[in-house]
């Protein structure tokens, strides 16, 4: 078997957690000092010093409860930053509530407090990104590592090892496979392999001795009894144990663990917008749509006038589309054609389409025809970011041709989306193009985060409005 090393972090993890807490507290206090200086040139003393200390303590308490100071090396940096922001804004709400209940809110400069509430999360995020980059550099050079063992030398086990080897910045050092039934499972590999193969008993012994940090179980699901025995044996150790189920057949959405009255269940097809995430998404839609409508009110009036003067017909075109959970909604657009098709058969606009008016062609190329949909967002029928809605007739056509097509309706349709900024906008004259659009839509549903929405909105400004495929 391969030799082992304790690594840089494992013996000192409690110390590092303590230092991380102290660093966060210093950042919070420092951001308050800066806020007092730049707003009213106030001193960090008296009630402001008390507020800073209370803010740091509350942040550390909430952060500890939300496991903010446990190991995040396997978690993407944007998720770590998002968790930090949630903890800070929870802290801010507690501080505001305390000031209100104690009737001391008038003792503080509102401008200084608002600046602190905005500056502290920025500094906390910068510190976390900087720490992650520093630790990633150490791990890439073989420092700050954790040992990893695979229970089950299977195809899935080798997939885990390949991914670990492709991401050296995770600091995961693979020490070997462990499998009691190697001969039956993979006769090509001998116990003398460079990677090493041992038995489960040896793995449990190593875990009890603290020589392995992470254990990934990659046994086939039919080996239920052996998995239970191994997990029970490993419960007498301090190793972190992960089960890697072979769910490759479910390639549409990543499963998420949840529970039904304490019974663990795996969610395969689910909306990401339940609970707090749903409130965050709705608040995002209201704020962004309100801001944009305030900015584009005059341009929308001019566009409406241009539509009315350029061709006979209504200014707005309302088409039935599938919305959240497949419910039919009316999506608004500036009319860009001489017809308003919304029947059992709707022909997609094509290059040189005679139905498109000259002014409508300009609107479609620049996506200006979509602007009225911000009103749909305020109505709650659409989101700013989400899968683009298709005509009902197209939905009925493609749901029979593309597996998982209707899963894109687990969220509200959007004005812009991951597929659109990735180049899959406009006419889908082939099934392959529609499949790629659906693939990107499902990736969005699967990986949604507030940060992803902000990224899509930002990229839409630069690459999502004008598109050569929009006719």
Q: Is 138 helix (H, G, I), strand (E, B) or coil?
A: helix
pLDDT in tens, 28-60: 999 999 988 888 777 888 888 888 999 999 998
Looking at per-residue confidence, does 428 or 401 come out higher? Answer: 401
pLDDT of residue 354: 66
pLDDT of residue 289: 93
pLDDT in tens, 275-301: 678 888 999 999 999 999 999 999 999
Q: Calculate the alpha carbon distances from 218 to 65, 172, 262 in Å.
A: 31, 17, 25
Residue 425 has pLDDT above 80, yes or no: no
Was domain 146-250 assigned CATH 3.30.300.10?
Answer: no
pLDDT in tens, 426-457: 666 688 888 899 999 988 988 888 888 988 99
Q: Which of 127-141, 234-248, 290-304 has the lowest mean pLDDT?
A: 127-141
pLDDT of residue 2: 39
- The residues with which 320 forms a beta bridge, in sequence order, are 330
CA–CA dist 217, 227 (Å, integer): 8
Q: Domain segments of the chain: what residues? A: 10-140, 146-250, 276-464
Helices (H), 66-181: 77-101, 110-140, 155-166
Looking at per-residue confidence, does 256 or 316 come out higher? Answer: 316
pLDDT in tens, 384-394: 999 998 878 77
Q: Is 277 helix (H, G, I), strand (E, B) or coil?
A: helix
Dihedral sign from CA coordinates of 351, 357, 360, 366: positive
Q: Name the average pLDDT for the chain.
A: 78
């Amino acid at each position: 078997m391969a030799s082992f090393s304790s690594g840089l972090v494992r013996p000192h993890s409690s110390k590092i957690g303590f230092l991380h807490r102290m660093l966060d507290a210093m950042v919070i206090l420092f951001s308050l000092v800066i806020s007092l200086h730049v707003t009213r040139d106030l001193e960090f003393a008296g009630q402001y010093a008390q507020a800073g200390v209370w803010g740091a303590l509350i942040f550390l308490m909430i952060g500890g409860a939300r496991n903010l100071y446990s190991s995040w090396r396997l978690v993407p940096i944007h998720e770590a930053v998002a968790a930090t922001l949630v903890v800070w804004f929870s802290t801010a709400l507690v501080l505001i509530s305390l000031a209100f209940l104690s009737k001391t809110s008038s003792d503080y400069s509102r401008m200084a407090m608002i600046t602190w509430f905005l500056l502290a999360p920025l500094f906390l995020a910068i510190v976390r990104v900087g720490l992650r980059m520093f630790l990633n550099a150490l791990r890439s050079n073989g420092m700050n590592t954790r040992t990893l063992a695979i229970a089950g030398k299977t195809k899935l086990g080798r997939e885990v090892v390949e991914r670990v080897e492709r991401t050296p910045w995770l600091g995961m050092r693979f020490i070997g496979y462990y499998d009691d039934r190697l001969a039956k499972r993979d006769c090509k590999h001998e116990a003398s392999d460079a990677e090493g193969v041992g038995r489960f008993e040896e793995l449990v012994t190593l875990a009890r001795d603290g020589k392995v940090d992470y254990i990934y179980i990659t046994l086939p699901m039919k080996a239920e009894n052996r998995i239970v025995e191994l997990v029970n044996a490993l419960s007498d150790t301090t190793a972190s144990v992960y089960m890697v189920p072979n769910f490759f057949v479910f390639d549409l959405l990543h499963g998420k663990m949840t529970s039904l009255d304490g019974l663990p269940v795996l969610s395969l097809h689910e909306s990401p917008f339940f609970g707090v995430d749903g409130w965050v998404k709705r608040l995002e839609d209201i704020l962004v749509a309100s801001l944009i409508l305030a900015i584009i009110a005059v341009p929308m009036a001019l566009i409406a006038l241009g539509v009315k003067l350029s061709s006979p017909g209504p200014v707005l075109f309302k088409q039935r589309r599938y919305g959240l959970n497949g419910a039919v909604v009316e999506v608004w657009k500036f009319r860009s054609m001489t017809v308003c098709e919304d029947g059992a058969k709707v022909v997609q606009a094509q290059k040189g389409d005679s139905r498109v008016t000259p002014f409508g062609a300009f609107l479609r190329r620049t996506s200006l025809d979509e602007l009225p949909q911000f009103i749909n967002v305020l109505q709650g029928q659409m989101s700013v970011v989400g899968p683009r809605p298709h005509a009902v007739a197209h939905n009925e056509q493609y749901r029979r041709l593309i597996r998982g097509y209707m899963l894109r309706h687990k969220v509200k349709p959007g004005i812009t989306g991951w597929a659109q900024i990735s180049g899959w906008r406009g006419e889908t004259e082939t099934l392959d193009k529609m499949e790629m659009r659906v693939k990107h839509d499902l990736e969005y549903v699967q990986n949604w985060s507030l940060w992803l929405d902000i990224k899509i909105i930002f990229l839409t400004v630069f690459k999502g409005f004008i598109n050569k495929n929009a006719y």
